[in-house]
Structure 1
Amino acid sequence: MAIDSFNDVLAFVHVVREGSFTRAAAVVGVSPSALSHAISGLEKRLGVLLLTRTTRSVSPTEAGDRLFRSVAPRFEDIDSELAAVKEMRDKPAGTIRITSAEHAANSVLWPKLSRMAHEHPDIKIEVSVDYALSDIVAQRFDAGVRLGDQVAKDMIAVRIGPDLRIAVVGSPSYFAKRAKPKVPRDLLEHDCINLRLPTHGGLLPWDFAKDGQEMKFHVAGQWVFNSSSPIVRASLAGYGLGFVPEDLVLEHIAAKRLVRVLNDWCAPYPGYHLYYPNRRQSSRALAVIVDALRHRA
């Protein structure tokens, strides 16, 4: 295939990925009309329509979708290998993009990577806070962070933090009006502050375990948030019980701003792991980040 055809296929990949000739043109560095002309030429050579164009959107046809799913990963592999070759210099360099939930970003990524960044100024780090369990390959992240039992089997996983525990907490003012729950089922009679999961759109069930007995409850209350920090704030304000990682509230518990309940029902669960596909093993910059994040008991 001629080099022009490779360029046209790459242009097609950018258009599908961006969903717009204008945005893709900005990425490629040409005009939208030139990009449209290149893809029209590709369609003419192939004898098949690749894109459905309207005044508002651009979307791949069945043939276009097949071509995109086939060639896009190959261009990503080429980008990865070029980046790896570029890194074969005196110092690791390049941008590493990581997707992570807010708690992991604050409690693990920032304290560890902020120290590493001083020693490796040529490594740029982009952290995208996201609860949606993103597909790191499709969204072109170099790595992601998930709990140990959520990592796909085809990924390389590196433990970056200890086991975690949940804390159920409420303010003294809340418990001045309500009896403390003694068993998880008592939560059904309490105001609970919920966390909505963007992965499925539902509310996070509250899980408990003790002496081999496991319980899971869907609780109710006035407030729902999509991250843990505002849950802590609402708990401090007396709006109900929060169900959050314990490191977020240990200081408040010690200062008696919050009261912990059902502690013996909150069992440890697998901590955070950094995961990435096999093809990113050759990146020296990623290797530095993995080593900086690796959990050492």
Structure 2
Amino acid sequence: MDPRRFSDLIIFSRVAEARSFTAAARSLGVTQSAVSQTVKRLEGELGIRLLSRSTRSLTATAAGEQLLTTLVPNLTELDAKLAELERLREEPGGRLRVTCGKHAADTLVWPAFSRLIGAHPGIDGELSVDDRYVDIVAERFDIGIRMRDHLEMDMISVPVGPPLRTVVVGAPQYLDAFTSPGTPREVSRHRCIGFRNAGGSLSPWSFEKNGHTETVKVTPSIVVNDGDALVAAACAGMGLAYMLEDIAAPFLEDGRLAEVLADWSSSFPGYHAFYSSRRHPPRAVTLFLDLLRQDTSA
């Protein structure tokens, strides 16, 4: 529908309801002449008279009544829907769809997501845990959580997770049988457990010390594509593994794994939340981002 035609129909319905050009003009905040000309134009374009006028009264014609029968319920429904949307600014509702990888879900996203849904029953939440690349616009997600290096240039992003650190670990029985590497290059002499990411490539082993970065290309004797399997293989003494420190932490604490090359493992920026537009984000989105940032700063 032509936007002007929609505006003309609204003005016609207001005149019919008020039974007065003057009263309709006052409620709309325009001049009586503008209202009169609008109705006249609408009647001319339709080729039919919609209002009967006299010096003392104004009523809808039979054709006007037919039009109002369809027009008024739809305008009423539209007003109700707009009022409902305005209420969302105060009390969030609707659906919030979030996508992230398994590690982000376990360590960061799920705690904030569950608190949000628990505090605001009007929000219908959907959390999709998927390590593959996700186009949040094409797949209609509100927010994605990802490492900063993997963000699209046209996305709005905010840091929401603490710094992360990667470590190289091995089981004590493995390290007793083989000399621990003293430099990143010595890793290539060891049996290594590779991790194949969702994109299909093997995750690189990157190191940093005193501002110097080094990436080692390992030839793994075992390859897995699951974090739990990566830990299990390392604990079983199948070789060295490269993983996030918080995944390895429980096993380092109980002695099932030991860290090597600790001085070559430095922290790096953690997860970022990203979304497609900064203008008028839904209230549920802003509340979720606030919870994520609170967890980061806590």
Report the TM-score when normalising by structure 2: 0.67
Conserved 8 A contact 1:87-1:285: no
C-alpha distance in 1 between matches for 2:111 and 2:88: 28
- Alignment partner of 2:127: what SS? strand
What's the CA shift for 1:154? 2.3
C-alpha distance in 1 between matches for 2:254 and 2:274: 36
Q: Give 1 or 2 for the bigger CA radius of gyration.
A: 2
Partner of 1:174: 174
Partner of 1:66: none
Conserved 8 A contact 1:166-1:245: yes
In the alignment, structure 1 segments of 5+ residues that lack a partner are 3-80
Q: Superposed, which structure 2 residues align to 1:6-45 within 5 Å?
A: none
Residue type of the alignment partner of 2:237:
G
Partner of 2:102: 102
Conserved 8 A contact 2:172-2:257: yes
Mean Cα deviation higher: 287-296 or 108-117: 108-117
The sequence identity of aligned pairs, in percent, is: 41
What CA deviation, in whole Å up to 9, does each residue of 1:184-208 have, x standing for no partner?
A: 1111111111111222x21111001
Are 1:287 and 2:286 counterparts? yes
What's the CA shift for 1:113? 2.2
What CA deviation, in whole Å up to 9, does each residue of 1:204-229 have, x standing for no partner?
A: 11001112221111212232122322
Q: Superposed, which structure 2 residues align to 1:153-192 within 5 Å?
A: 153-192=153-192
- Alignment partner of 2:201: what SS? coil
Are 1:88 and 2:81 counterparts? no
In the alignment, structure 2 segments of 5+ residues that lack a partner are 3-80
Report the TM-score when normalising by structure 1: 0.67
What CA deviation, in whole Å up to 9, does each residue of 1:154-207 have, x standing for no partner?
A: 2221211111000111111111211111111111111111111222x2111100
Runs of 4+ in 1 over 6 A off after TM superposition: 81-84
Conserved 8 A contact 1:132-1:198: yes
- Alignment partner of 1:139: what SS? coil
What CA deviation, in whole Å up to 9, does each residue of 1:35-57 have, x standing for no partner?
A: xxxxxxxxxxxxxxxxxxxxxxx
Partner of 1:27: none
How many pairs does the alignment contain?
218
What's the CA shift for 1:105? 0.8
CA-based RMSD of the aligned residues comes to: 2.4
What's the CA shift for 1:275? 0.7
What CA deviation, in whole Å up to 9, does each residue of 1:43-79 have, x standing for no partner?
A: xxxxxxxxxxxxxxxxxxxxxxxxxxxxxxxxxxxxx
